[in-house]
Structures are given as structure tokens and as C-alpha cells.
Chains A and B, each alone.
Chain A
Amino acid sequence: MLARLFGFEHIQIAEDIASDTFLLASETWGKTKLPDNPAAWLYTVAKNKAKDYLKHNAIFNEKVAVQIKNEISEAEDVEIDLSEENINDSQLQMMFAICQPVIPAEAQIGLALRILCGFGIDEIADAFLSNKETINKRLFRAKEKLREQNVKIEFPDSKEITQRLDTVLLTLYLLFNEGYYSSSGNTNLRRDLCLEAMRLNYLLIQNRSTDLPIANALFSLMCFHASRFDARLDKNGEIILYDDQDSSLWNDELISRGTYYLVRGAKGPQLTRYHIEATIAYWHTQKQDSTEKWDNVLQLYNKLLILEYSPMAALNRTYALAKAKGKAEAIIEAEKLTQLADNHLYHSLLGHLYTGIDQQKALQHLKTALKLTKNQAEKNRIKKNIKELGL
């Protein structure tokens, strides 16, 4: 909201006011009881601070350059509309402003977290497994770039919207993945990243001009993934693999939401990677293993790969192949993926496929996987697999 009022030239001011406000809140609320409506309280304080700033700034400017007279009247006239609708609109406009191909995806995510989600630099650094200085620099450069390009904080016109929405959705997709797949040990933070991505995606769906099938497909994907939040992490924040998850912990509410938005997303001719990934995620919510399930998953991974290659999709396709057509056929296909020879997950997969077929080969691949991974949880899991070979 504030950022939109000030524009990118003065985004630093908006950020300062926001963090001052939060600081004041934590001090005040620590001493007294919570106000009845904390959000309104925050907005009111931030609004007053913004007005103060504009007044001071205007007086200062007047002394330096006399001609800027109207700034004062502007400052007095400033009225910040705090209706929910306006807050949502501001967030949407800011989303479009931040998500620009001219700045790197990582910086887009960082800016979104900072400006749209109010995350601290510490938290962003933690999420990216980086440090404060790096993140500060990255965000500073990104903001400079937006200033240079004179990016306006506004809704794109209807002709541009499809193309611009692609960038926004990609950023939200990456933001969600950052939370879902990050190796940061901070479980709460990771969950927050996912929930923020979902919140912003939901804003897009609620707005008529951005409520497009592709936005619904991505939201559906997020719902399906999020339905396994409680089942996929153990007490130490370590990943529990799909096969080992307690499916009674899967969230049925989110699964049915996912299905609802997948159906909404299926309107129209466009088949994007979000549609395919959401449909794969849908099949993963089916608890029963069946040939039908894995045959469908295999075909979806084929489609996904034909659309766009990624190492994870290549590995997952091979896993689905083993489930649908047996390990022997999957081994033949897996051995062809020579481009993944230094990927530890590739060797883990081969270890899994050879287990029960050729124990020595399984051992060989698991040992290679162990050598290639740095992640402790991963190492523990591989050691367990080696032990289970019974050699």
C-alpha cells in the first residue's frame, strides 16, 4: 500500500515506515493488550507516519527548492483508502510491478517477500540459505533496476495481461517451491513461504481480469502440495518420502479445493506445465496404488518433459515407469539419463531400481549417491538403504 503511494523512487521510505510501524506495534502491544483490530491499527499508524513523512519532506524540499509548493497541499490531502478492496488492488498492482523479466527471478521473489509479504531481511536470507548482506544487495540492485526502467505500480492493460501474468505466476510458483523444497531447517518459515504464495495466487483468482485458467491451475497445484504439509516433514523438519507418509495426515479440505480449482483451470484450450503438474499432484492424492494411477502419472510426466525438460521430471518419469511397467524396463530407461551422472538423486533412484535385481549394482549406486550429497538427512536415508541391502 505504502509502496504504491510512494512509487519505486521512494520505496525505501515505504519500507522504513512499514518496519517502524511494526516495531512500534511490537513495543506497544508488548506493554498493553492487543488492539481489537490489529490490522486496522497497523494501517492507521502507517498512514499517519506516511502523512508525517510527506509533510516533513515537503517542508524540507521547500527550503531547498522553493518551487515545490504544492507538495504541502498534496501532503495535507493525502487520504489512504484502507478498504479491503483497495488493499487487494494495491497488492495486485505491486505484484505486477515487481514481477518483471528485467530482474532475476530470485530478486523478484525476494522483493515479493519484502514488499508484499512484509518479511524481514533475516527471514529472506534464511529462506534462500544466504546472508543478510547478499540479500540486501540483491534487493537493492533489483529496486534500482525497477527505478531505472521507470516501472509504474499499476495494473497492466488488458492486452498485456496474459503475458505479464505468466511472469507473476512463475514468481509465485518459485516462491512456493522455495518453501516446499527448500533445505532450510526453519519449518515454520518454509510453511509461511508456501502460504504467502497461495495467498497472492488467491488474490489473482479473486480479481476478474486475472482469474484465468492458468492461475487456477497453479493454485490447484499449490493446494494439492500443501495438503501433504503435515505428512511430509518429521519433528526435525526432515522430509518424509511419499511412500513413507502417513496418509491419514493428508488434508482432505485442501485436496478437494485442489480438485475444484483444477476443474476451473481446465476451462479453455491452454495446457501449461501448471496444469500437468497439478494433475500429477492430483494422482498423488489417490492413496491406493494402481496400474491406472501410475500409468496416468507416467503419461503426464511424458507430456511435461516434452513441454519442458527438467532433471526432476526426468527422474520422476523413471520412477513412475518402474511403478507402471516394472523395474527392469525402468532400469533400461534410467541408464540412458547419462546427463544426470553427478546428481545424487539419480544414483539414489538407480540404487532403488537395482535393489532386489542386482544388489551389487544397487550398492555401487547408493555409495555414489552418498558421496555426492551434502545433505545430512539425505545421507542418513541412503545409509539406511545400504543397510537394507543386507550385503
Chain B
Amino acid sequence: MNDFLLIFRRDANFDLQLTPAQMQEVTKPWQDWMGSLAAQNKLADSGNRLATDGRVVKPGSIITDGPYVEVKESVGGYIVIRAASLDEAAELSKGCPILATGGNVEIRQILPMQS
């Protein structure tokens, strides 16, 4: 088994428009999906959500406001899962609720540091 980082990208404006009650409704599918991964013992790290605001530091002490790519492709959060292969990790990602709101999941294998 290897660890894979799942990076969730979506339109950052989407979250801002939600009422608390709608937010609750958004949370439930995430709990169901992550609960399902965890029940298979494939959730390695339940990860975190990320705030929409950000800063980018560039050479020459230049600091700019984020988001930097397009707002529609803003990183909203991440988790780490266990899978036998990149293909399996991709298969497991098909149930991710980010897809239902037009977002996407990027899957990258984590390579442990050589000591």
C-alpha cells in the first residue's frame, strides 16, 4: 500500500455563497465519502480544509495576494488515502463530493523522504 495525496480544487466563489444550513448539507456527503474510505481502512489522514485567502511569496521579497491561478481552480482542501496503485487511488476518488459541484481531484503519490 502507498499513500496518495488528494487535492481538491473548486470554484472558490461557490463556498462564499452558502448559508450555514446549506453548508451543513454540503458537509454530510463529505462525511459519508470519508467515512466509507475510513471503513475500508484506506483513509491515512483526514486532512484539512483551506481558507480561500492566500499570499504568494516571490523572489525579491515580493508578496502578492492569492488566489493566484484562476479562482475556479482554487485548492479547497486535501486528504491522504492508502491505495495499492495510482489507478486504485483514482477509482476511490470517483465518489468525492467535490465532483458534484464542478470541482476536481488531483491525485499524487507521496514519496517518503530518503533518510
Chain A residues with a Cβ under 8 A of chain B: 298-299, 301-303, 305-307, 309, 313-314, 317-318, 333, 336-339
Contact = CB atoms under 8 A, between A and B. Distances in A.
Interface in B14-70: 28, 31-32, 34-36, 38-41, 43, 46
Contacts of A313: 39
A329 to B, nearest CB: 10
A132 B34 CA distance: 45
Given A299-B28, A306-B46, A337 B40 contact: yes
Contacts of A317: 35, 39
Interface residues of B, number: 12
B27 to A, nearest CB: 10
Contacts of B43: 305-306, 309
A48 B32 CA distance: 62
A303 B40 contact: no
Contact of A333 (B31, B36, B41): B36
24 contacts: A298-B32, A299-B28, A299-B31, A302-B32, A302-B34, A302-B38, A303-B31, A305-B35, A305-B38, A305-B39, A305-B43, A306-B31, A306-B46, A309-B39, A309-B41, A314-B38, A314-B39, A314-B41, A317-B39, A318-B39, A333-B36, A336-B39, A338-B40, A339-B40
Contacts of A336: 36, 39-40
B40 A314 contact: yes
Interface of B: 28, 31-32, 34-36, 38-41, 43, 46
B35 A306 contact: yes
B31 A339 contact: no
Contacts of A314: 38-41
A21 to B, nearest CB: 49
A276 to B, nearest CB: 12
A280 to B, nearest CB: 13
Contacts of A305: 35, 38-39, 43
Given A302-B31, A305-B35, A339-B41, 13 more contacts: A299-B35, A302-B35, A303-B31, A305-B38, A305-B43, A306-B31, A307-B46, A309-B41, A309-B43, A313-B39, A314-B41, A317-B39, A336-B36
Q: Which of B28, B31, B38, B46: most chain A CB closer than 10 A?
A: B38
Contacts of A339: 40-41
A140 B43 CA distance: 39
Q: Which of A302, A336, A339: most chain B CB closer than 10 A?
A: A302
The 5 closest A-B pairs by CB, nearest first: A302-B35, A305-B38, A314-B39, A302-B31, A309-B41
A306 B38 contact: yes
A314 B32 CA distance: 12
A301 B41 contact: no
A244 to B, nearest CB: 25
